Amino acid sequence: MKIGIISNLYPPFIRGGAELVAAMQAEGLKKAWQHVFVVSSRPASLRIYKKVLFNTGLWGKNKDEINGVDVYSFNPVNLYYYLDDYKYPVFIRLLWHIIDIFNIFSYFSVKKILLVEKPEIIITHNLMGIGFLVPNLIRKLRIKHIHIIHDLQLVTPSGLIVKNQENSFSHKFFRTIGYHKLLAWLMGSPDVVISPSKFLLDFYTENKFFEQSKKIVLANPIRSLIRIDKKPTPNLELIYLGQIHKAKGILGLIKSFQKIKLPHIRLHVVGLGQDLNKTKDLAKTDQRIIFHGWLPNDKLAPLLSQMDVMVVPSLCYENSPTVIYESLSMGIPVLAAEIGGVAELIKEGVNGWIFPAGDYETMVKKIGNIYAQRDKIKLMADNCYLSVADSLMDKYTQNLLKIINPDD
């Protein structure tokens, strides 16, 4: 089959886990002898992203080959590029969203590609940044449509709803103006909707999305299980990996970590985001907190291999965080806030530990208990591998192909 994948971002342009899932999906289908191409976005000024582009050999062509997959990319006409939104004030971002929802320029850019490629199946991921007229285009071209949901961006533009702030002004504002109803109408009912978590599927069902779609829960893919022979040390190495944003719980993590006076516990922070400077300022007096910035995979993997526990302290409703899959695939247990779909991945004392979102006192106690029994962490590795074994890319691809073509 010829399968097109449409995602607002695609490596090397990365913000979160959705675009990594899209890439693994494309590569897995290609390996399974499917004819695959990708449609995504890129910045207008390549000079801004010079380092990223030079490292991947991309020079600004409309069509590139990334890991054996044909990738079409274009810069959507709008006030700024999607990844640069943190640079602009609220009223500019609001205007950007209005243009993005009805971006007729993106509509025709995508249409031109689809008319050339003539796919039998289209799989869409996050569309914010490419435009929400794309589902209508797919319907008009009578192409079978499968949509993968990753977060809450169809209900609130940020995609983030923080626990106990469900009725905050921003969310009430967008609900009052009918943003979710408009997006539900524009998205329509794709033939199939896939969610990595039951939580997210239930959330959209309750909000009257995808009413005529077939709905399936399918966990995100992982590339491989990585066996690590970590030498025992007196230290407990914790790592936070992700966006440096207050909604992800990083500020509370830093403040709470400083209450732990044990010298042999260290916290590594990997990532970028709008609250990076604030986070560094909070941590400046604690030498046990180490910032690594953004790391490419060839530098991230060696660092992860030295870690004992991944910490995911999110305050916002999560779907099925890619970082948890990555951690478990390396045999690293996860200490995570129990919110959204996280509890579907982490089993207490088996492949990690959970605590109520925002309850940093409980989190600190759990870190202390983990430190006291750190010799047992290595024994949890097999449980970690087992918990994500069904998500290995080959098996994920087989399951996806059964969904795409159930009669085979």
Phi–psi pair at 81, nearest 5 degrees: -80, 145
Angle at 361 between CA 150 and CA 284, to 5 degrees: 80
> Are 2-221+392-404 and 236-390 the same fold in CATH?
yes
State residue 408's pLDDT score: 66
**Which residues are CB-contacts of 326 (< 8 A; sequence separation ≥ 6)?**
222, 241, 304
CA distance 66 to 40: 12
The answer to whether 276 and 348 are in contact (CB under 8 A) is no
For 221-249, b where at least 16 C-beta lie within 10 A, e where not — what string?
A: bbbebeeeebeeeebbbbbbbbbbbbbbb
State residue 346's pLDDT score: 95
* One-letter amino acid for residue 248 of the chain: K
The answer to whether 72 and 40 are in contact (CB under 8 A) is yes
For 125-154, b where at least 16 C-beta lie within 10 A, e where not — what string?
A: bbbbbbbbbbbebbeeeebbbbbbbbbbbb
State residue 158's pLDDT score: 85
Fold of 236-390: Rossmann fold (3.40.50)
pLDDT digits (tens, 9 = 90+) for 279-317: 999 999 999 999 999 888 788 889 999 999 999 999 999
> 215 versus 233: which is more confidently predicted?
215
- Domain boundaries, given as residue ranges, for the chain: 2-221+392-404, 236-390
Name residue, tokens 């290995």: 392
**Which residues are CB-contacts of 95 (< 8 A; sequence separation ≥ 6)?**
79
Whole-number Cα distances in Å, 10 to 39, 64, 127, 219, 300:
9, 12, 12, 19, 19
Whether pLDDT at 359 is above 80:
yes
Element (H, E) at 284: none
The region, left, alpha or beta by phi > 0 then psi within -120 to 50, assigned to residue 189 is beta
Residue 371, CA atoms < 13 Å, CB-side half-sphere: 20
CA distance 402 to 408: 7
Fold of 2-221+392-404: Rossmann fold (3.40.50)
Angle at 352 between CA 229 and CA 332, to 5 degrees: 25
State residue 49's pLDDT score: 47
55-59, 180-184, 374-378: range with lowest mean pLDDT? 55-59
Assigned token pair, 221: 């893919």
Name residue, tokens 């969904």: 403
The answer to whether 198 and 345 are in contact (CB under 8 A) is no
pLDDT digits (tens, 9 = 90+) for 138-180: 999 999 999 999 999 999 998 888 888 888 887 788 888 999 9
DSSP state letter for 318: -
* One-letter amino acid for residue 408 of the chain: D
State residue 328's pLDDT score: 96
CB-based burial of residue 99 (10 Å sphere; 0-12 exposed, 13-18 middle, 19+ buried)?
Answer: middle
What proportions of the chain, in percent to the nearest 5, are helix, strand and coil? 40, 20, 40
State residue 217's pLDDT score: 96
The answer to whether 373 and 380 are in contact (CB under 8 A) is no
The band of 278, judged by pLDDT with boundaries at 50, 70 and 90, is: very high
> pTM value?
0.88
Whether pLDDT at 60 is above 50:
no
